[in-house]
Structure 1
């Protein structure tokens, strides 16, 4: 909606149909190039998943060096979560490529980390603070742990014969 919509003075002005058509075409063509909320979520996840991958890999390496009696269980759980993260990252890469979205460089300005990306020919920036990244990573790791718990419960039911 423009500033002129609803202004009665402009209703009497004459517009050439070609100008109206050009205006409508320009706005119709821009709608497909603007990043949607779903795509922004995908970009955010694509940025966060490699960090999560490194964190889980480090955690697995720490557990391998430990003498904990539940070491094998922790390693199996960590490996399963790592597999889920890798699978999601692969799926995201495919989907972003299909939507013609390319994520490029990372730059830091003050407390915000920006990632440049191209979305259907337009260059944009996506920024997150470290605190937001930490909280999102925590939420997503909780989601993966919940998935693992669900898988364990299903396996347990199968073993019991329920």
Structure 2
């Protein structure tokens, strides 16, 4: 006699997808703020910097689209993101299970910095 099938519990891959989505959402916010700031500065060629950051925005949006497809395939759906004083909390549904993902701002900042440096093809470990 076989037991009735049940929804598999959330896996590390599901958490990785949520983390990646949260980091990219934060990165888009950073890029948007930086583009607005660049537009107000007295730079000789602001369009070059703005175009570069806009290109990264487009790449991040494409990555987020891919992540959303993976999430849909795995039965993962973000329900709510709450930005709090010490971090960001994401509630999501994973194959019927309500889950919570929490990231401290210090960790989030480092993850966003790593992601941005990857898009800029920079190694943060190298000295200036």
TM-score class, shorter: 0.7 to 0.9
TM-score w.r.t. the length of structure 1 is 0.65
Structure 1 unaligned residues grouped into runs of 5+ = 1-17, 148-162
Aligned residue runs from structure 1 range 44-55, under 5 A: 44-55=19-30
Aligned residue runs from structure 1 range 20-99, under 5 A: 22=3, 29=5, 33-99=8-74
TM-score w.r.t. the length of structure 2 is 0.80
Structure 2 unaligned residues grouped into runs of 5+ = 123-128
Partner secondary structure for residue 117 of structure 1 = strand
Moved over 6 A (4+): none
Two-structure CA RMSD over aligned residues (Å): 2.3
Q: 1:145 aligns with which of 120, 123, 126?
A: 120
State the structure with more CA Rg: 1
Number of residue pairs the alignment of both structures matches: 122
Question: Which protein has the bigger helix share?
Answer: 1
- Determine the C-alpha separation between the residues in 2 that align with 1:67 and 1:39: 44
| Cα gap change, 1:59 to 1:108, in 2 (>3 Å) | closer
- Determine the C-alpha separation between the residues in 2 that align with 1:64 and 1:100: 40
Q: Which has the higher contact order (CA 8 A, sep 6+)?
A: 2
| Cα gap change, 1:131 to 1:34, in 2 (>3 Å) | same
